Chain A
Amino acid sequence: MADRPGGFRHVQTGGQFVGPGEEKVVFCAVRFDERDVHPTFSLASPICDTDILVIARGFARQAELAKAIEEIKPLLGPDVVRLTYKLEEDWSGDPSIFFRVVLSDRASRRSEILAATRRVEDLMVDHMRPLEEWGLLPYYNYRSPTEQAARAVDDWA
């Protein structure tokens, strides 16, 4: 639910698959004030001002996305100690998935890191197809367990 100028909020009311990696989501701008804290509405309701947005499927179906990623994790092998992700827009506003990968200390060595990261990224692209299936540009960040442990806060939890 997103705030909207003029006392309205966007409330997602439905979704429909429209194309590779995209989802048509109907948003209903609902009057939101003290008298109407829990508004009831429908698409036909006169209080609704509907907007139809096409958004990345990965943003609209996050539970399915999470399941798809969980299914890939066992394939990643022992060099991947942990994989988490965050959904966000990238520097130019494109919907993106930021994978945060903790590699083993062995795989994090200068001489090994490229082979290990190419393997991770190839697996994600082959099995998940982030852009084609989910409409998300994939980005990857890597850390070694030593680097991760040195952090005061686990910001990749």
Chain B
Amino acid sequence: MRTIFILTTIIFAWLIGCKKPYSPSVISSNRSMLVVEGNLNAGADSTTLRLTRTFKLDDTARLIAENNAQLTIEGRDNSVRSLSGSGNGYYTSSNLNLIIGKEYRLRIITSGGNEYLSDYVKARITPDIDSVGWDRDITGAHVYVNTGDPSGNTVYYRWNYDETWEIRSYYYSRFVYENGGVRPRLLPAEDVSVCWKNDQSRQIILANSKSLTQDIIYKKPIVTIPSGSEKFQVRYSILLRQYSLDKNAYDFFEIMKKNTEEIGSIFSPQPSEIRGNIHNVNDLSEAVIGYVTVSEEKQKRVFITRPTQWDFSLSCTSIDVPKMADSINYYFGGYQYVPYDEGPTVYLGTEPYCADCTIRGGVTTKPSFW
């Protein structure tokens, strides 16, 4: 139903309305609130939580990490486990060994001495991912997930993913411009013709089966690769992680999604207050953003090779640059062009992104799973 309204908005906007960037006169709260993100992995894998703080709208910072806090996980069975800080707000444990069905809570004591405690949450089983597939229409390729729980106990699902894709340079580069001159590239050490790029999910992906006769999730869209995207230039891989949620956690993520991703349509609900399950033990009115979940993490990695008629293209030109210092300096000195090959009297030059895949943000180290 929401899609319909978004589409309606698009229609209105397209027909007669208009959507313009807008930045209101600065309104900001001086309060800096604690943000807790992460899942306590109830499976046999590592757990990573991240503590950050909110910051002002006009702040130049993109992230304020909360380091040097003490994080402990307390079970109702009086067990205590701790997470160790690894910098940049991350706190990890290689294996918490939580027991499915038992209840746990998170205690945080910040370096500033504030103490926070989450509600008790039951450790949940997460079903396996059945399959990850994709289909294609005029807008692009849509990657989706199929999953379900034959026992019918999961109902509420959340996903996130890491994606990796291979990119190739248009021209194979055998030369490097360096210190005012051109030298042959040391191959294969300095090969920049093949790279890999990474990204992660940036949206909250949720689904539930509460209105279905069976606990199944069918073709839940995960990510859309827009037509012509470089992600499908050669080969693409997605590592999808699946978590089961209880209803309260699902509601929390849904509100956050509505508030921050699905706002603005004519029929969008208004933003609502986010209420997590973490509280300052000494000041219940203090807002803390975050919801501690305790679930198994299930993963699935799939590869997608370039589909037929995937019209990714780079616009590349090739120029002849005489092997003379002033010509070399003129064309290559400002990195407007880079050399990639040579003729008898000339270097062949092209735009940097056509010869060097690291310019396009890639790394030349092949991922271990590739």
Indicate, yes or no, whether A interacts with B: no
Q: Which residues of A contact B (CB under 8 A)?
A: none
Q: Which residues of B contact A (CB under 8 A)?
A: none
